[in-house]
């Protein structure tokens, strides 16, 4: 425990939902839910307007729809969230060399390592400036906690939500912690809390009063001793920059249980491919391949295989995953499948490639013969229709609510809903007024997937100028987001590349003419005050 509150914890407010509200003017001030939109989807983030109805993260989307059927239910756009996260983490990096990211929207910062004077007034000033800089750069808000330990800084940021700052003065820690629920302590989940409740322990103060010996008896030596230290305010964990990921994994929940064995094998192969894509994007390799299988009755099992050395070769990972799934009985129905790689390293073991090469060589003759005869048949992925010729452009058969699109005539917009062969699109930009809704056939050749628009308005002539919103009165979309066509949970790994936007051929919008604003300006975030708009040069993007 430090004698000065020099550990800062930043937590962006309702991050995914706030980013969507900032990017979609028609959703500002309205309930927004981001997550899986299918019948088995799960809420990733809910805006504060949606939380009023009792919607929370990790809640089943079906339950959220019952609580608030008129909310906008949107598919996540991780490329946009990563872009914003990079800006926020860059601002944190300017404060200190010790920044410990916990997720896209959350991080610890060691202000002492950044040379900040160890006084309450100095660190408070830094925290307030950080909040202003984040608002100026992204249009979004974040909550800041300042304390002498990581645990207390995180608790302080929770107390500060939304869009606030709380500083815990040294010497007041136990007074603050005592009446809090034991769930406020990091690492105490529902199971641990229930164990403690049965022993009559429900608050942080009661946890400390129980004593270390009693907690060790209830929870085991490691967990019990650690919990006692935290409950009595002893937390000397340092802020660690560049925390190493322990594994990389992907998983999908299916709209209907999979019972066909060949379909299960195809899905495992596809998940293995996605997993390797993430592995390579992180510049890592791994030596242990893991599969996860959740059955129709929610029972879950995992199987793993450790290779001779780390690899990032998709053929090797697919082969290992295929062997693992072969040993699992899936005939009763599979609800979820996942593939992961652990035992990460920064290099690859080259001799592993020989394994995949040998398999490929053995199948070369058969593949060539099948290709010559025209009989080779590739498994179809989502959105592909039977009978399409190889190399032909494949139009998506389903348009997921919230995703970006571009129309040849109307420009950039986003999917508001789809169903019965129609898709409704709202044409608006982050810096525009709420746009008009238009309806198209799902196979309209003029409509195609688009790229997320930057939340910072670009000066005229920049590459990311986008099309103007369609004029005309706003009208409600038939079958809005709540009526969207159900679809399996989205694949966060298949979105547009980070930082991309409309190309240089995009039509200039109305702000490109005389009288246009000559400097980038942030999009007004949910609940933002126009008076807080930055002066020229404040934006870091």
CB 18 within 8 A of CB 47: yes
Contacts of 77-80 with CB under 8 Å at 24 or more apart are: 77/19, 77/20, 77/402, 77/403, 77/404, 77/452, 77/495, 78/492, 78/493, 78/495, 79/451, 79/452, 79/495, 79/496, 79/497, 79/498, 79/499, 79/500, 80/19, 80/23, 80/452, 80/455
Residue 181 is given by DSSP the state B
> Could you tell me if residue 298 is left (phi over 0), alpha (psi between -120 and 50 degrees) or otherwise beta?
left
CA atoms within 13 A on the CB side of 136: 16
Write the secondary structure of 449-498 as one string of H (helix), E (strand) and C (coil): ECCCCCCEECCCCCCCCCCCCCCCCCCCCCCCHHHCCCCCCCCHHHCCCC
Element (H, E) at 84: helix 78-95
Residue of 83, 106, 101 lying closest to 10 (CA atoms)? 106
How far is Cα 465 from Cα 446, in angstroms, rounded to an integer?
20
Instruction: Using DSSP bridges, classify how beta strands 411-419 and 404-407 pair: parallel, antiparallel or unpaired.
Output: antiparallel
Distances (CA, A) of 193 to 200, 280, 382: 10, 39, 42
CB 537 within 8 A of CB 522: no
Residue among 20, 83, 100, 106 flagged as catalytic: 106
How far is Cα 283 from Cα 275, in angstroms, rounded to an integer?
13
How far is Cα 333 from Cα 311, in angstroms, rounded to an integer?
31
Residue of 485, 478, 501, 497 lying closest to 425 (CA atoms)? 478
How far is Cα 537 from Cα 541, in angstroms, rounded to an integer?
10
φ, ψ of residue 276 in degrees (nearest 5): -65, -35
As given in the structure block, the two tokens for residue 323 are 């062997």
How far is Cα 479 from Cα 35, in angstroms, rounded to an integer?
19
106 is catalytic: yes
How far is Cα 229 from Cα 355, in angstroms, rounded to an integer?
50
Task: Calculate ∠ Cα 154-29-71, nearest 5°.
Answer: 90
CB 56 within 8 A of CB 382: no
Q: Is 397 exposed, middle or buried (0-12, 13-18, 19+ CB in 10 A)?
A: middle
Write the secondary structure of 323-379 as one string of H (helix), E (strand) and C (coil): HHHHCCCCCCCEEEEEEEEEEEECCCCHHHHHHHHHHHHHHHHHHHHHHHHCCCCCC
Q: Which residues are catalytic?
A: 106
């Amino acid at each position: 425990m430090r004698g000065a509150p020099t550990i800062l914890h930043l937590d962006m407010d309702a991050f995914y939902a706030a980013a969507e509200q900032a990017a979609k003017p028609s959703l500002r001030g309205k309930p927004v839910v981001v997550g899986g939109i299918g019948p088995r989807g799960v809420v990733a983030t809910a805006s504060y307007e949606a939380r009023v109805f009792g919607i929370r993260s990790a809640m089943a989307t079906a339950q959220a729809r019952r609580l608030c059927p008129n909310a906008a239910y949107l598919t996540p756009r991780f490329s946009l969230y990563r872009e914003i996260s990079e800006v926020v983490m860059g601002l944190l990096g300017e404060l200190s060399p010790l920044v410990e990211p916990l997720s896209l929207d959350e991080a610890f910062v060691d202000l002492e390592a950044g040379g900040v004077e160890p006084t309450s007034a100095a660190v408070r000033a830094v925290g307030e400036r950080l909040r202003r800089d984040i608002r100026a750069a992204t249009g979004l808000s974040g909550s800041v906690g300042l304390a002498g330990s990581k645990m207390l800084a995180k608790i302080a940021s929770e107390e500060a939500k939304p869009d606030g700052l709380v500083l815990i003065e040294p010497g007041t820690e136990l007074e603050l912690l005592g009446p809090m629920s034991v769930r406020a302590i990091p690492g105490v989940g529902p199971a641990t809390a229930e164990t403690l409740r049965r022993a009559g322990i429900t608050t942080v103060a009661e946890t400390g009063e129980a004593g270390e010996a009693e907690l060790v008896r209830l929870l085991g030596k490691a967990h019990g001793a650690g919990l006692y230290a935290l409950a009595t305010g002893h937390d000397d964990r340092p802020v660690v920059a560049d925390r190493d990921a322990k594994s990389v994994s992907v998983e999908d929940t299916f709209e209907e249980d999979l019972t066909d064995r060949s379909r299960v094998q195809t899905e495992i192969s596809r998940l293995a491919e996605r997993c390797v894509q993430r592995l390579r994007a992180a510049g890592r390799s791994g030596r242990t391949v893991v599969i996860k299988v959740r059955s129709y009755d929610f029972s879950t099992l995992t199987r793993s295989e450790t290779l001779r050395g780390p690899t990032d070769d998709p053929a090797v990972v697919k082969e290992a995953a295929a062997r693992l799934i072969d040993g699992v009985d899936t005939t009763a129905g599979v609800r979820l499948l996942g593939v992961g790689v652990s035992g990460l390293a920064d290099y690859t073991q080259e001799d592993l490639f020989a394994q995949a090469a040998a398999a490929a060589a053995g199948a070369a003759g058969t593949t060539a013969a099948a290709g010559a005869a025209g009989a080779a048949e590739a498994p179809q992925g989502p959105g592909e229709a039977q009978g399409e010729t190889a190399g032909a452009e494949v139009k998506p058969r389903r348009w997921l609510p919230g995703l970006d699109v571009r129309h040849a005539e109307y420009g950039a917009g986003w999917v508001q809903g789809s169903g019965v062969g129609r898709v409704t699109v709202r044409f608006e930009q982050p810096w525009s007024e709420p746009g008009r809704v238009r309806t198209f056939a799902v196979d309209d050749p003029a409509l195609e997937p688009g790229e997320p628009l930057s939340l910072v308005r670009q000066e005229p002539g920049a590459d990311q100028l986008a099309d103007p919103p369609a004029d005309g009165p706003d009208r409600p979309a038939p079958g809005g987001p709540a009526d969207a066509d159900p679809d399996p949970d989205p694949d966060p790994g298949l979105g547009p590349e980070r930082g991309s936007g409309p190309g240089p051929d995009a039509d200039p919008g109305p702000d490109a003419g005389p009288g246009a604003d000559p400097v980038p300006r942030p999009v007004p975030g949910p609940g933002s005050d126009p008076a807080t708009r930055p002066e020229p040069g404040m934006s870091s993007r």
